[in-house]
A = this chain, B = another copy of it.
Amino acid sequence: MPVPSDRLASVSIRDVASEAGVSHQTVSRVINESPSVKESTRQVVLDAIARLDFRPNRAARALAGGPVQSVTVLTSNTRQYGFAAALEGIEEATRAAGFALGVRVVESGTPGDVRDAVERAIEPAGALIVIAYDRAGIAALRAVPPDVPMAAMVETPSGDEAAGKPWVWFDDRKAARDATNYLLGLGHKTVHYVSIPSSTSTSQRMLGWRSALEDAGVSVPKPLQAGWDPQSSSQAAQHRLTRDRKVTAVLCGNDDLAIGVMRAMHQAGRAIPDDVSIVGFDDTPLAAFYIPALTTVRQDFAALGKACFAKLLSLLDANASQDAHPWPQAELIVRESAGPPPLPRQRANGQSGSVRAGTGAGGRPRRAPGTRSPAPAPAASSGVGPEQTRKTAKGVSR
């Protein structure tokens, strides 16, 4: 049991060396797991290390050109759910790997700012993870010099744009398709879309929505452009959605936008899901607790963040586990905010879409589609939340 000893007086590699009766270089070899150290000396050194409670000094190591052991995350935001959850996942992964983690936000997409942010981010760490879900993030991604080890979380790329790039993403297109099909399957004549700002000109999420509508031979309404927050979607909805009785289903780019739309609908006196169905994206921790609980496409950003770090690690460490770390998949979580459209002629069996709407194919539960009516209300202890059916909307793997 190592004596706490004096804090502050940090022990160096040479202290360990003399304690173990070897040279400082041998200690260095041991802590770097060099194969060319005899097992017996290795043990002696390890003992000394333990006895002295030695920890290599990151600054010195970085300075001397040792292996990179810290990452900084470059992002345009730290509070929004997707970003924060990604950060959480990355933090956990870095901690597990013994890496230090830095954070730097890049505010605008202005070339000067971006350049500056990128340089400042590179400097203390060496390696970068860029969260590139918006314009600023994308700009940062592009501004990273090619010789800096980096991985990135990006929007679904189109085509083979991402070939060979150290990027990770959710299959937005597929997820949006499935969510749209789910709504169509409920009997809606079409589905409106409220979009988050896309970093690319052709958001795959929007494309997925559109293609689902087209495949169903249904009219494609003009998508609404919103920001990231409920304020923006609420406003957009008030302009274009709220007064039109023909809109009965709205797919939203994230849960916050969904909340904004719900709010706007509510204020306009339209009930959810009876008059209009809403489906979100992300599955915020609170989504299950809204009233009505939000049907949404879950995206496990924390897991994706971990995958992203794993990717970075494989870049850093040539001989690291090179195997394709599968990414998390998006899945549609069916709750209460989407249901059959109001009064449009009875349907035999709400089956028209490719997606089997949960088990609730039966009558036509006006209020909760996939609700295999459990007890009228989750009476007591166990599953308190309004979580309900969950249906994989698939994701991508490699």
Which residues in B have their C-beta under 8 angstroms from that of A163?
none
Q: Which chain B residue lies CB-closest to A301?
A: B79
> Which of A40-48, A229-237, A318-326, A388-396 contacts its partner?
A229-237
Q: A91-121 toward B: CB 8 Å interface, digit per residue (1/0)?
A: 1100100001111110000000000000110
Question: Across the two chains, which residue of chain B brings its CB closest to A145?
Answer: B7
Is A267 part of the contact surface with B, judged by Cβ < 8 Å?
yes
Q: How far is the CB of A122 from chain B (nearest CB, A)?
A: 9
Closest chain-B Cβ to A237's Cβ sits at a distance in Å of: 9
Give the segment of A81-89, A184-192, A360-368 that binds chain B.
A81-89
A58 cross-chain contacts in B, Cβ below 8 A: 59, 123-124
Contacts A/B (CB < 8 Å), 30 sampled = A57-B63, A58-B124, A59-B59, A59-B60, A59-B63, A59-B124, A63-B63, A72-B100, A79-B88, A95-B104, A100-B102, A100-B104, A230-B285, A231-B289, A231-B384, A235-B381, A238-B381, A238-B384, A256-B285, A256-B286, A259-B289, A262-B289, A263-B290, A263-B291, A263-B385, A263-B386, A267-B355, A267-B377, A286-B286, A290-B291
Q: What is the interface of chain A, defined by CB distance below 8 A to chain B?
A: 7-8, 55, 57-60, 62-63, 70, 72, 78-79, 84-85, 87-88, 91-92, 95, 100-105, 119-120, 123-124, 145, 147, 229-231, 234-235, 238-239, 256, 259-260, 262-264, 266-268, 285-286, 288-291, 293, 355, 377-381, 384-386
